[in-house]
Structure 1
Amino acid sequence: MLQLALDRLHARGHDTKPTLSYLVHYPKARLNRTLRTLKLTPKEKALKAEAIQQHETQMLSRRRFLAHARDTEDFHLPMAPEAKHPHHPVAAGDIARGALQLRLKLLKPALSFRDAKLHVVLETLLEGSLRWTLKMPSKSAKARIHCAVTGKPVRWASVRITGRHATISLPAMNAVPLTRIFVKLEKRPLFFDIAGWREIAVDEARRPKLHFHRHTSAHPHAAE
């Protein structure tokens, strides 16, 4: 979401700086990341250690958690948006037949979509920014899509669930052409979500083209 805000500032002529990303919890799967390592000053390292100790409810092992206050911090360049991501619960996404088609796969230890929510952010050329949220049903069914800003229902989605897999079709005909798509499956087994936001690639070749026509009307002059 930070990148969207920076994009808007850049479009308005403001000077924006490149951003770096970081991983809170390292996944078991190896990710293709371009690392940037920053060295902390003693003051910055002490400040991080102090911040860590404020999370008293999570300090099961003080020594283990304070070990994260290291001399260096690893960041990485933002990853390019992809249609498929096998290590994310939103495994695939595409625009087909006027709908945003998503394939979800729950990662262990999650076993059910119960109490999960799907969040979608669409950046469009005609309607601006759209923020949708959908409460996942426990079995295959139609599910209401609500506007995340107003809370009002906006349309229906089709959800098909088979075990730890789900296919979701969200009507998006009125939202095309799309410029950017962000999705997140919110589900918390314990303290944190199973995954964060990810961007789905927009296929430029399949994006509908806009054609603007200038209409002129002739106004005949009255005969003198």
Structure 2
Amino acid sequence: MILIRLLQLDKRDLKVVILGDVNVGKTSLICRYIDGKFLASDPTVGASFFMTHWGPYNVAVWDTAGQEKYTGLSSFYCRNAGAAIFAFDLNCMKSFNSLGVRFLPLLDSAHECCLKVLVGTKLDLTTPGSRQVSTEAAEKLALQMNADQSIEKLQKAPYFETSSKTGHNVEEVFDYILQYCLPLSPEQIKRRPTVSKSTINLTDIKSESSTEEDHKKCCA
């Protein structure tokens, strides 16, 4: 599928990108938040684009592929991101270790104050014997990744343990990000509209993408 001129379509106040190894449940996490239901999906190819609302703001959420062969594409989709979700499987240490090695460098083209939120997935499948990543280790990494952020504004380590199957903590992940980046008053939060969705599957980048860099706008 040919890349659409996304910067003409992506009319947003905040861009959020989700990164992580293949099969950690990135798409399921987004679909649980967007649609309110569990979706066991095939691995993402390229990226998928969702547009949601937070009070008066438009928020673009980019779901990227976890396979190493798509690393170059994922770097492109990180351009001007104001927040990033780093997802890993609580039962797979390899997926946790890859966050700092493979995925953190992709944010070189993100907003200079990009918020980084770690999300442990598949909590419903976790048992004392299967769990490989401790809460303490994940919280420590989350704080290290956000050394450039105000500790007072963060309020807590930007780390959540989630289950897309049950919905546990999924909405809390996005509420944390959106309230941090686009603060709303209690009254605005109460009145915020239901999340909506428009999706574009993107699997290819043409040479025109290099010229689009000249026209990009910085995310809030």
| More strand by percentage | 1
Q: Same fold (TM over 0.5)?
A: no
| More helix by percentage | 2
TM score, norm. by length of structure 1: 0.24
Higher relative contact order (CA 8 A, sep 6+): 2
TM score, norm. by length of structure 2: 0.24
